[in-house]
Structure 1
Amino acid sequence: MKQHVDASDDRCPVEASINLIGGKWKILILYHLISDKSKRFNELQKTLSTITPRTLTRQLRELEEDRLIRRIIHPEVPPKVEYMLTDTGRSLVPILMELQNWGTNYLQNSDLDQA
């Protein structure tokens, strides 16, 4: 169950950040939404191949509730729903790119550390 993040809490700002983007999937969903174009549910599910539809739905709803992503519903039959980063979500892009850089360096150097 997700804990609500309240700005008036006396909690640590890192704790607030982790509550918003922590877990296995949220940060990956945000990372895959970095591009300027929006993505549909099925595109995200294909990209995150081991996530269940139920989990993806839940994570998308929480990210939307926290105003990190926007859900856009196009009035068509069948309905077309897309997801994209909000301005608040876009403010995470430098952090996500640094995580990508750190992960790349780690993967490249982890073999050297074992030698």
Structure 2
Amino acid sequence: MSDLRSEIKREIESGEYNCEKELTLSIISGKWKIIIIYYLGTEGVLRFSEINRLLPKISHKVLTTQIRELEEDGVVHRKVFAEVPSKVEYSLTTLGESLIPIVLMMDEWGKKNIKHFPVAKNR
């Protein structure tokens, strides 16, 4: 578990978060986590290569790290099949599915307001 994940876990257990919003942000923070949650919520069960294709600008290492952190936080479920070659599928847990309305609202907000952020159009 990364140092950040360990720190978040310690803060949750000790009640050090100032508010619930801070906890939510700590779980979904990371450039790609919200997008990973979005695709798993809208596309359903996906393999690593499928997620990677949906996010062409993400490196293999970063995608692995982001998925592992979501898995550690109980948002993503990883299912490994006993096959050769190995097959792994990712899906949202019940906790992860509960984030979908938030992610969809963020998507809608972005669509409505992108015109106010001309730099964002070029990303």
Q: Percent identity?
A: 39
5+ long unaligned stretches in structure 1: none
Q: Which of 80, 97, 100 is the aligned partner of 1:90?
A: 97
- Larger mean CA deviation between 70-79 and 36-45 belongs to 36-45
RMSD: 1.6
Give the secondary structure class of the aligned counterpart of 1:33. Answer: helix
Q: Which of 67, 71, 78 is the aligned partner of 2:74?
A: 67
Encode CA deviations 1:8-46: one digit per residue, 9 max, x unaligned.
413121111111101211111111111363001011111
5+ long unaligned stretches in structure 2: 118-123
Report runs of 4+ in structure 1 exceeding 6 Å deviation.
none
The answer to whether 1:10 aligns with 2:29 is no
Q: Which residue of 2 aligns with 1:102?
A: 109
Measure the CA separation in 2 of the matches of 1:37 and 1:90.
10
Q: Which residues of 2 match residues 45-64 of structure 1 at below 5 A?
A: 45-64=52-71
The answer to whether 1:34 aligns with 2:41 is yes
Measure the CA separation in 1 of the matches of 2:98 and 2:13.
17
Q: Which residue of 2 aligns with 1:19?
A: 26
The CA deviation at 1:76 is 1.1
Q: Letter of the aligned partner of 1:4 in structure 2?
A: I
- Larger mean CA deviation between 34-43 and 15-24 belongs to 34-43
Measure the CA separation in 2 of the matches of 1:25 and 1:37.
17
Measure the CA separation in 1 of the matches of 2:21 and 2:37.
18
Equivalent pairs counted in the alignment come to: 110
Q: Go from structure 1 to structure 2 and tell me whether the alpha carbon gap of 1:19 and 1:80 turns closer, same or farther (over 3 Å shift).
A: same
> What TM-score does the superposition give when structure 2 sets the normalisation length?
0.82
- The structure with the greater share of residues assigned to helix is 2
Q: Which residue of 1 aligns with 2:121?
A: none
